[in-house]
Chain A
């Protein structure tokens, strides 16, 4: 049973560029959440997708956008990259709202913006 898979593992981009990160949820899960974890800090909630719609969004600018596909996989897109976007991006999946289904995390994508 595959867990949450994220791709790519590492990514280096230049300021101003755009990036797309991908996440496949654990089998049986239908909800995907994205978190940004800056170096030495705890994760910050970006947004959550359920039934192909953004259900909740954290305090992130519109440069951060996402999508969920019918197979529940998800993408995180970041436009006009800034140096401050350098971080580990974590994807977490759950079933429904996750009250009785704990979040399962992937290994993250390390994004470096130069």
Chain B
């Protein structure tokens, strides 16, 4: 069974600085998707960034980028120029690939990100 592990229960960073959140996963599949979601106090899960396993290039969305190491099964999120609005719980999630009849997302336990003004 696939598992997702986030080893950092809480991280803090000074506003405008850079922070990296860690995620490792375990799977025997070769085709899959990885995601980072943000959950602010409003409770709504918001997609931050997505990575397809078959793509070697790391995904980037504005100030958010990932370091995808497929062989090491590692998927870290880097947030540059941290802003107060980035404060939230961040979840790493995994889903099996296109064509597989397994639609569920498998989630890590989350990392609470604190932004210091």
Q: Which residues of A contact B (CB under 8 A)?
A: 33, 35, 40-45, 48, 55-56, 58, 88, 90, 92, 97-99, 102-103, 105-108, 110
> Can you add 8 more A-B contacts, CB < 8 Å, to A42-B109, A43-B91, A105-B44?
A35-B105, A42-B91, A44-B107, A97-B98, A102-B47, A107-B42, A107-B43, A108-B44
A107 contacts B110, CB within 8 Å? no
Given contacts A42-B109, A103-B47, contact A56 B98 (CB under 8 A): no
Q: Which residues of B contact A (CB under 8 A)?
A: 4, 42-47, 50, 91, 93, 98, 101-110
CA distance A43 to B43 in the complex (A): 12
Question: Which residues of B have CB within 8 Å of A102?
Answer: 47, 50
Question: Which residues of A have CB within 8 Å of B108?
Answer: 42
Smallest distance from the beta carbon of A94 to chain B beta carbons, Å?
9
What are the 3 closest A-B residue pairs judged by CB atoms, nearest first? A42-B107, A45-B104, A105-B45
